[in-house]
Amino acid sequence: MAIASWIRTFPLVQYLIAWAQEIFMSVLKTGPVPQHVAFVMDGNRRFARRRKLEVREGHSAGFESLAHILEMCYQVGIKVVTVYAFSIENFKRPTVEVDALMEIARTKLLQIIHHGDLADRFGISIRVLGQRSMIPADVLAAIDKSTEMTKDNTTAILNICFPYTSRDDIATSMREVVTLSEKHELEPETIDERMLEQHMYTKDCPPLDILVRTSGVERLSDFMLWQSHQDCTVEFVDCLWPEFEPWRFGSILLKWSHNKAIEFRKTEMERDQKEL
C-alpha cells in the first residue's frame, strides 16, 4: 500500500510507532512471556524475485527484518532467540549466492557487536551453532571475534544456526555421549533425554516455546526437530521473511500469552481443588 508507506516516512509517525511498540511490549511483559523463540527466515529469495531485485538484496532485506524482530524480542524480555541462518543443505545452492550469504554473515556479525548496536543495547551474547568445519576461514574469524566480544553479556542470548541441520545436531550429541562412554567417563545406564540435550548445540538454553516459520511453507525442514516435537507452539506464517511485520509477531506473542494464561489458570484451579 503506497499511501501507508508514504505516511510511514513522516518522522513523527516513526516515533509514534516505536512508542506504541514499547508500550505494547510492556503490556505483554505483565503476562507470561516465552523464554526461547526460534525463527526460520524463509522467503528472502522469493522476495527479491517479486521485487525484481538481486538475491543478495533479498538477503539484506531479510537481515533488516531480523534486526527489527530481535529488537522486539529483547524488549519483551525473551531470553533466547534462535535463528536459522544457513542450513548444511544450503551449500548446494549456486556458489555466487553462497558467497554472498557468507559475506553478509561476516559483515553483519561484525556490525552488531559495535558499541551501541544490538548486542550492546540488549546485552546479547552471540553464539553460532553448527558445524564449524564447513565455514570458510574469514567468516570463522568474524564469528570467533563476535562470540569472544559478547561472551560476558548475560541478559540475553542470540543463537545463530550457521550451518545447521537438526539431524546433524542430534547425531553430534549422540556421538559425543558415545565417545564419553568409550572413555568410561560416563555410565551407559545414565543416558537419558536430558543428557542428550546437554550435548546438543542448544545446551544451556531453556526449552523451545515458539517456532515461527515464514513464507507459508508448512514443514520443519530439519530445524529444531528435537526441541519442537512436543510442548512447543509451531506457527506457520503466510508471508515472506522480509515482510514479517512486527505486528504479526506481536499477535503471535499475544496469542501465546493468552494460551499460557489459560493454562496457568487451569493449574491454579486444579491446585485449589486439590487443596479443598
The residues that touch other proteins, with contacts defined as CB under 8 A, are 26-33, 76-77, 87-93, 165-168, 170-171, 174-175, 177-179, 181-182, 184, 186, 188-189, 191-193, 196, 217-222, 225-226, 228-230, 232-236, 254-255, 257-258, 260-261, 264, 267-268
Q: How far is the CB of 38 from other proteins (least distance, A)?
A: 14
Q: Which long-range contacts (CB under 8 A, 24 or more apart) does 249-255 make?
A: 249/69, 249/72, 249/212, 250/21, 250/24, 250/28, 250/72, 252/210, 252/212, 253/28, 253/33, 253/34, 253/76, 254/28
What lies within 8 Å, CB to CB, of 69 at 6+ separation is: 39, 244, 246, 249
Nearest CB to other proteins, comparing residues 57 and 235 = 235
* Comparison of 90 and 107: residue with beta carbon closer to other proteins: 90
Minimum Å gap between C-beta 195 and other proteins is: 8
What letters, b where the CB count within 10 A reaches 16 and e where it falls short, cover 182-203? eeeeeeeeeeeeeeebebbbbe
The nearest distance, CB 141 to other proteins, in angstroms, is 25
Helix, strand or coil, per DSSP, at residue 160: strand
Between 110 and 196, whose beta carbon lies closer to other proteins?
A: 196
Residue 237 Cβ vs other proteins, minimum distance, rounded to whole Å: 12
**Closest to other proteins by CB, 9 or 154:** 154
